[in-house]
């Protein structure tokens, strides 16, 4: 049996060896509802899991946030906000919940083809929501994502419709736009920047149906 100390040691050793896939390389885009079939068709041709057809998913994602008052008296940022996402499958009941931490995104310069952000995923039981509540986390927002997942080597492509939660949690959901969000991502240990080039080439193949791009969240929040 390993003691907690041992577990911490092996974790830090793994971190040092750089084998934990904790960097997410990401490109995002969208496609209008009426062209989603065309996109799915093309993805079916481009991706690995052709025989079984696209994998569908129907998930509920809740984003929790925890506010921690900063001890250092910086007036501009009185609170630091720490968010965690919990995702559960609606269509399949026996899968574990997924807890996910997503870090600040780095855009890098023009030569870098994708957004890079740290990302840590883990499976957990359904009591995670209660646990996070006990920790002081608060539901920031939640949504339903329904769509299709494709694989191409290490790359994951999701085409999903985002629904806003209605009043009556299960039943009334409404799509928030007339488009599907398309995400191309790879989880890899840090430093493997070559994958970004592969992703750029793959994204190129989906043009002009979908423009997969690096999207700057900061600029987005200023724009809208």
Q: Which residues of the chain form contacts with other proteins (CB under 8 A)?
A: 28-32, 35, 38, 63, 65, 67-69, 71, 77, 79, 81, 83, 133, 135-136, 138-143, 145, 162, 164-168, 172, 174, 176-179, 181, 207-211, 213, 215, 217, 220-224
Q: Return the number of the residue (20 or 187) whose C-beta is nearest other proteins.
A: 187
Tokens of 49: 């899991």
Q: Return the number of the residue (7 or 176) whose C-beta is nearest other proteins.
A: 176
Give the nearest distance from C-beta 55 to other proteins in angstroms. Answer: 19
Distances 28 to 11, 146, 183, 212, 213 between C-alpha atoms, Å: 31, 16, 5, 5, 5
Give the nearest distance from C-beta 60 to other proteins in angstroms. Answer: 12
Give the nearest distance from C-beta 29 to other proteins in angstroms. Answer: 6
Distances 98 to 70, 157, 165, 192 between C-alpha atoms, Å: 28, 18, 19, 25
Q: Return the number of the residue (109 or 171) whose C-beta is nearest other proteins.
A: 171
Alpha carbons within 13 angstroms on the beta-carbon side of residue 160 total: 22
Among the listed residues 95, 26, 100, 92, the one whose alpha carbon sits nearest the alpha carbon of residue 63: 100
Give the nearest distance from C-beta 202 to other proteins in angstroms. Answer: 16
Q: Return the number of the residue (32 or 123) whose C-beta is nearest other proteins.
A: 32
Give the nearest distance from C-beta 54 to other proteins in angstroms. Answer: 19
Q: Are 105 and 116 in contact (CB under 8 A)?
A: yes
| Eight-class DSSP state of 2 | -
Q: Return the number of the residue (13 or 219) whose C-beta is nearest other proteins.
A: 219
Cα–Cα distance measured from residue 1 to residue 18, given in angstroms and rounded to the nearest whole number: 25
Is beta strand 23-32 parallel, antiparallel or unpaired with respect to 179-188? antiparallel
Give the nearest distance from C-beta 223 to other proteins in angstroms. Answer: 7
Burial status of residue 180 (CB atoms within 10 A of its CB: 0-12, 13-18, 19 or more): buried
Q: Return the number of the residue (114 or 179) whose C-beta is nearest other proteins.
A: 179
């Amino acid at each position: 049996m390993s003691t907690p100390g041992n577990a911490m040691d092996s974790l830090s050793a793994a971190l040092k060896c750089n084998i934990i896939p904790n960097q997410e390389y990401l490109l995002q885009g969208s496609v209008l509802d009426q062209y989603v079939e065309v996109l799915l068709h093309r993805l079916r041709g481009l991706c690995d899991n052709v025989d079984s057809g696209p994998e569908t998913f129907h998930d509920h994602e809740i984003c929790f946030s925890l506010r921690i008052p900063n001890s250092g008296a910086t007036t501009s940022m009185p609170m630091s906000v720490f968010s965690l996402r919990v995702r559960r499958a609606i269509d399949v009941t026996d899968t574990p919940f997924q807890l996910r931490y997503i870090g600040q995104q780095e855009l890098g310069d023009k030569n870098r083809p994708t957004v890079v952000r740290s990302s840590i995923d883990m499976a957990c039981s359904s009591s995670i929501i209660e646990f996070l509540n006990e920790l002081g986390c608060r539901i920031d927002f939640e949504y339903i994502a329904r769509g299709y997942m494709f694989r191409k080597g290490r790359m994951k492509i999701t085409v999903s419709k985002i629904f806003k939660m209605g009043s009556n949690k299960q039943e009334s959901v409404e799509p928030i736009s007339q488009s599907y969000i398309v995400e191309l991502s790879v989880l890899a240990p840090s430093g493997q920047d070559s994958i970004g080039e592969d992703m750029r080439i793959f994204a190129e193949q989906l043009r002009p149906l979908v423009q997969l791009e690096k999207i700057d969240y900061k600029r987005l929040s200023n724009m809208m």
